[in-house]
Amino acid sequence: MAEITKHAKKGGKLLLRCFSKRETKREFTHRPMGKIYLFSKNDIEKLFGNHFKILATHKSKPFIIKQKQPPAKWLDEYLMEKTR
């Protein structure tokens, strides 16, 4: 988080895509490559709220390969602007 705020200028935009915690209470899921964390909008606001404000959100379904199930049913996208 510190690296992101260090390299972003005031008024700069950040597009964040993350697996959504929607419809589940899990914090993460296990995959062969390791842990994949799931986030809610509240989590994003807690992590980035001191430096960024959310301008827009979008929800989409992740691409699914038949033999592999995605870590979550939804991807959330947040367009944010640096405020400090």
pLDDT given for residue 67 in this prediction? 61
| Least confidently predicted of 2-6, 30-34, 78-82 | 30-34
Residue pLDDT, tens place only, 47-81 = 998 999 999 999 998 877 666 777 778 899 999 99
pLDDT given for residue 74 in this prediction? 87
Domain ranges (residues) in the chain:
2-82
pLDDT given for residue 29 in this prediction? 83
- Straight-line distance from the first to the last Cα atom of the chain, in angstroms, rounded to the nearest whole number: 14
Task: State mean pLDDT over 30-57.
Answer: 90
Between CA 78 and CA 24 the distance in angstroms is 19
Q: Mark residue 51 as left, alpha or beta (left: phi above 0; alpha: psi -120 to 50; beta: remaining).
A: alpha
Between CA 73 and CA 61 the distance in angstroms is 6
